[in-house]
Amino acid sequence: MGPRGGISRCPCGRKLLTVCLSRSIQAAGSQLGQSKDYALPNASWSQDMLDLYNRFLDMTKDGLWKRIPSYNNILDHIPESMKLTYEKRKDTRLFLRSIDAEGAGFEYVMFLNTSEKRVVCLFQPGSYLEGHPGFAHGGSIATIIDSTIGSCAISVAGKVMTANLSIDYVNPVPLGSVVLVDSKADKVEGRKVFLSCKMQSVDGNTLHAEATALFIQLDATKAQKQQASCQ
Ligand SMILES: CCCCCCCCCCCCCCCC(=O)SCCNC(=O)CCNC(=O)[C@H](O)C(C)(C)COP(=O)(O)OP(=O)(O)OC[C@H]1O[C@@H](n2cnc3c(N)ncnc32)[C@H](O)[C@@H]1OP(=O)(O)O
């Protein structure tokens, strides 16, 4: 499913309001010179995506869940203390935000529950993520799983990298559908963070994929060497 037209096409008042509100927030942000936050509703989001988003947003009210903002440069995600060691480049982009057209690539928003060591991602794959006709490419599924699990690992252990990601693809994901990617950190052993994840349909009746992952907290000396080699 390609990107959908303007907000005037929206059949329901709530969607219209949400989109307008998010755009006002973004406009205000741009005026302040802040990066655009992509984890806010846009006109391409389906009703399923908006309903789920509003449900999770409600869950943020008691402070247990937090919406994770999403920018197109990874350094905008990183806490100030970690930023000092990286130099921001203008020619790089977070892979998931590399397609500009709204609704054509990765439409997603993540929510973090720190006490449960859990990150849930609402994901709507767009038409440019096609693999098998009409379905999301397995690489795009791996990317959203890696990033959801990765965000969970970052929240638990800071500077980490994926060492292992194992995915069982159970049922294909139709383009334009909405799936929930539910990840949690199961165990931390020294620098190793073990995580698991399920990708399911909104109604919970279809399991699309299951994954386990190992993330390693970067060793400070080795990380400095890695950085030096890519600058
Ligand atoms: C608050 C929230 C904010 C959220 C904000 C959102 C941001 C928006 C989302 C962005 C989220 C992006 C998430 C993408 C994440 C990538 O895509 S990362 C890119 C892909 N990964 C890579 O390129 C990593 C390449 N590999 C490496 O660089 C190195 O192998 C590693 C992983 C850093 C580990 O190297 P190392 O530090 O030298 O570790 P090493 O001493 O070899 O091993 C440590 C231990 O781990 C074990 N180990 C290492 N590798 C393995 C393995 N593959 N299997 C099993 N065991 C292993 C070792 O055996 C050892 O075990 P012990 O002996 O201690 O028991």
- Summarised one tens digit per residue, pLDDT across range 5-45 is 333 333 333 343 444 344 444 444 444 456 899 999 999 99
Specify if 26 maps to a domain: yes
Specify if 45 maps to a domain: yes
**Ligand 1 centroid vs 69 CA: distance in angstroms?**
24
Specify if 201 maps to a domain: yes
* pLDDT at res. 81: 57
Catalytic status, residue 219: no
Specify if 170 maps to a domain: yes
Provide the domain limits for residue 157.
7-229
Specify if 1 maps to a domain: no
Q: What percent of the chain has pLDDT over 70?
A: 76
121 lines ligand 1 (CB under 6 A): no
* pLDDT at res. 79: 63
Residue type, 126: G
Rounded to the nearest 5°, which phi and psi values hold at 103? 90, -10
* pLDDT at res. 74: 80
Contact assessment for residue 162 and residue 199, using Cβ atoms and an 8 Å cutoff? no
> How many domains in the chain?
1
Contact assessment for residue 73 and residue 35, using Cβ atoms and an 8 Å cutoff? yes
**Ligand 1 centroid vs 95 CA: distance in angstroms?**
18
* Strand-strand pairing, 106-113 and 118-125: antiparallel
Which CATH number does the domain housing residue 120 bear? 3.10.129.10
Cα separation, 38 vs 113, in Å, equals 20
Specify if 2 maps to a domain: no
Tell me the pLDDT tens digit for each residue of 200-224: 999 999 999 999 999 999 988 776 6
pTM (predicted TM-score)? 0.87
Specify if 70 maps to a domain: yes
